[in-house]
Structure 1
Amino acid sequence: MDNNAWKRRREPTEADLAIAAATADRIRLALEELRHADHITPEATRGVIEGLGLPPRTIMVTALRPPLGADPATTPPGADIGIRVAPTACVIGSVRPSRVDIDVAGPAAEFGCLEPFSH
């Protein structure tokens, strides 16, 4: 028996993977536009994703964490995202001034789509 299975991401089904890949492309394009407009707050990021018609309850957006050693009161521009787009698939990633990173992954029992900050 694997005691750590609850914190590992599940593998998406083929059908959910297809849905997630198509949704990831739409999200990537929308976040690239937001990044080029130089307006990448967590609130603006959530608004853009909701504007794509995704249900608000499926969207998690958090502020980026300051780098280790940096002033913890300083929040870097950008946001981390996790969106449940199908029963076994998530779109995860971040938007920063320099880039947009988007990927498809399965959810984990412990945290769903957006992995919490630890340490």
Structure 2
Amino acid sequence: MPTSTMRPRRRLAAALLLAGAAISLTACGQRPVAAGAPSPAPSPSSVVPSGGAPPYVEPGSRDGAPHYNENNAGRRARDMSPASEKDAQKEAGRIEPVLKSLWKQGKWGPENVRSAMLALGYQERKAASDGDRRGPEIEVRAMDSRFVTDHYVTPEGARIGLRVHKDACVTAFVQKTNYQVSVNGPYPETGCFEPPFAH
């Protein structure tokens, strides 16, 4: 046979060999399916949702991000015992009418709020506590600053963190637009105050 007809046959054989290898590689790890038989359901780990989201979605995550709960553990308040929650509700009931009055008077600055809370008989929380508490400890702070357009702004108002028990807090705020009082367990790193978002 002339060499000119041998070259196309070799090229055809090489192309068929490559095509066969490609088919066997793409089928790697899959079970053979008889013609006409239904395809087996894909395993949950092999399913990737549309949009490129990761296949693992952590339960309770708001945006489907892996490790959401782990990354936001510091933003979740701890649980309160029923007895501690009841005591915290009682203290919240004492604080709410005072904040309502301050709000109506337009006295929502930290100094006004602190004076009103101390008048209720609360002990001011100190940075270095000796551990000998006579009752609930309160901390009054300015509102957190927020990023608006191109700079940070600290709104008028005050935030309150009242430690009722080791596992129970009353958190509140009063500002020009509104006021709010709620009960919660302490946060792992920030005590009675909800931690700010990192990003």
Q: Which residue in the other structure is 2:180 paired with?
A: 101
Number of residue pairs aligned between Structure 1 and Structure 2: 117
Distance in 1 between the 2:197 and 2:85 partners? 27
Q: Is 1:64 matched with 2:132?
A: no
- Provide the TM-score with structure 1 as the length reference: 0.84
Higher strand share: 1
Q: Aligned-pair distance for 1:52?
A: 0.9
Which of residues 5, 18, 21 in structure 1 aligns to 2:86? 18
- Match of 1:101, as an amino acid? Q
Residue 107 and residue 65 in structure 1: after superposition, are their counterparts in 2 closer, same or farther (change >3 A)? closer
Q: Which residue in the other structure is 1:87 paired with?
A: 166
Indicate the structure whose relative CO is greater, using CA pairs within 8 Å and at least 6 residues apart: 1
Distance in 2 between the 1:32 and 1:14 partners? 27
- The gaps in structure 1 that reach 5 residues or longer are none
Which of residues 155, 161, 172 in structure 2 aligns to 1:76? 155
- The gaps in structure 2 that reach 5 residues or longer are 1-68, 126-136
Q: Aligned-pair distance for 1:90?
A: 0.3
Residue 50 and residue 68 in structure 1: after superposition, are their counterparts in 2 closer, same or farther (change >3 A)? same
Residue 11 and residue 5 in structure 1: after superposition, are their counterparts in 2 closer, same or farther (change >3 A)? farther
Q: Which residue in the other structure is 2:23 paired with?
A: none
- Provide the TM-score with structure 2 as the length reference: 0.53
Contact persistence 1:60–1:114 (CA under 8 A) = no
Identity of aligned residues (%): 33
Q: Which residue in the other structure is 2:190 paired with?
A: 111
Instruction: State the superposition RMSD in angstroms.
Output: 2.2
SS in 2 for 1:68: strand
SS in 2 for 1:60: strand
